[in-house]
Amino acid sequence: MRRKLVAGNWKMHKTVAEAVALVNELKKELADVTDVDVVVAPVFTALAAVAKAIDGTPLGLAAQNCYPEVTGAFTGEVSPTLLKDVGCRYVIVGHSERRRIFQEADDFINRKVRAVTAEGLQAILCVGETLEERDAGKTFDILAAQIENSLRGISAATMERVIIAYEPVWAIGTGKTATACQAQEAHRFLRELLRKMHGVATAAAIRILYGGSVKADNAAALLSQEDIDGALVGGASLMAADFTPIVKQGRN
Ligand code: 13P
């Protein structure tokens, strides 16, 4: 049975003090939750302070992005090596905001998946279609291309360090959630695709998270679907009162 994972992507929000205050609240509110992996992804500037605040707790630390080199002349960038050094265990790659605003393409995202996993960290690889693509009936083609290209050259063994997040672009920050049925359909498609690429064992073990306007009142329906193994939460991860009930609905 796959263990559920609920991650909060804080995007470009929270000062260091605010970030530490939020994880301190989460530590208290989630003290009795031992059957769900809980991960927070603060901005780069808050990573060190949050790492210190969650040291010795089951909370996991993620970065929201990385640059796929170890060190070097890459002004303004941060490598998986440096993220590991600060205490990260996960790195989100290929988020739709990075694809859209920063023109990140699948081959660049593929380099990030390789760099993150080479460092022994878990890559949370985001995929998802736009509304235009869904309306044109291209959802599965888009998902297949994103997965195949972003995971090119990744072995079945390395797939143990990959988590997929299905985030339909039209559901991010819009208040429009995919119905549990629509999300399950996409997740099933992704798992079947991964089975074809990497075999039954990898497909059965990999966690596929759903992201896009996840809230306390829709989390239960989404998280109870057979192929939905957790959530990547944006807006509703910024306050403990919103995030905590989502995590609790991930309990078995
Ligand atoms: P919202 O939950 O705000 O829709 O954001 C989803 C997301 O992009 C998480 O990575």
Output DSSP code: residue 159. G
- For atom 9 of ligand 1, which residue has the closest CA? 234
Question: Over the stretch 207-233, which tens digit does the pLDDT of each residue have?
Answer: 999 999 999 999 999 999 999 999 999
Question: Over the stretch 24-45, which tens digit does the pLDDT of each residue have?
Answer: 999 999 999 999 999 999 999 9
Kindly list the protein residues whose Cβ atom lies closer than 6 A to any atom of ligand 1.
Answer: 9, 95, 167, 172-173, 211-214, 232-236
For the chain, how long is the longest CA-to-CA vector? 48
Beta strands, E only, 102-229: 122-127, 162-166, 208-211
Cα–Cα dist 3/75, whole Å:
38
Cα–Cα dist 146/197, whole Å:
13
Average confidence (pLDDT) over 138-153: 98
173 CA: nearest ligand 1 atom:
4
Q: Which residues pair with 126 in a beta bridge?
A: 165
Q: Where are the domains of the chain?
A: 5-248
Active site residues: 95, 167
Confidence of residue 142 (pLDDT cuts 50, 70, 90): very high
Element at 37 (helix H, strand E): strand 36-41
CATH 3.40.50.1370 correct for 5-248: no
CA distances from 46 to 13, 15, 22, 86 (A): 10, 7, 12, 10
What pLDDT does residue 177 have? 84
Cα–Cα dist 39/61, whole Å:
6
Average confidence (pLDDT) over 105-111: 98
pLDDT for residue 252 is more than 80: no
As a whole number, the mean pLDDT across the chain is 97
Cα–Cα dist 198/138, whole Å:
23
Confidence of residue 175 (pLDDT cuts 50, 70, 90): confident
Average confidence (pLDDT) over 164-177: 92
Identify residue 224 by its one-letter amino acid code.
S
What pLDDT does residue 60 have? 98
Residue of 6, 9, 64, 163 to mutate, ligand 1, most atoms within 8 A of C-beta: 9
Q: Is 77 helix (H, G, I), strand (E, B) or coil?
A: coil
Annotate 177-189 with three-state secondary structure. CCCHHHHHHHHHH
The DSSP code sequence of 91-115 is EEES-HHHHHHS---HHHHHHHHHH
Average confidence (pLDDT) over 143-157: 97
What pLDDT does residue 1 have? 80
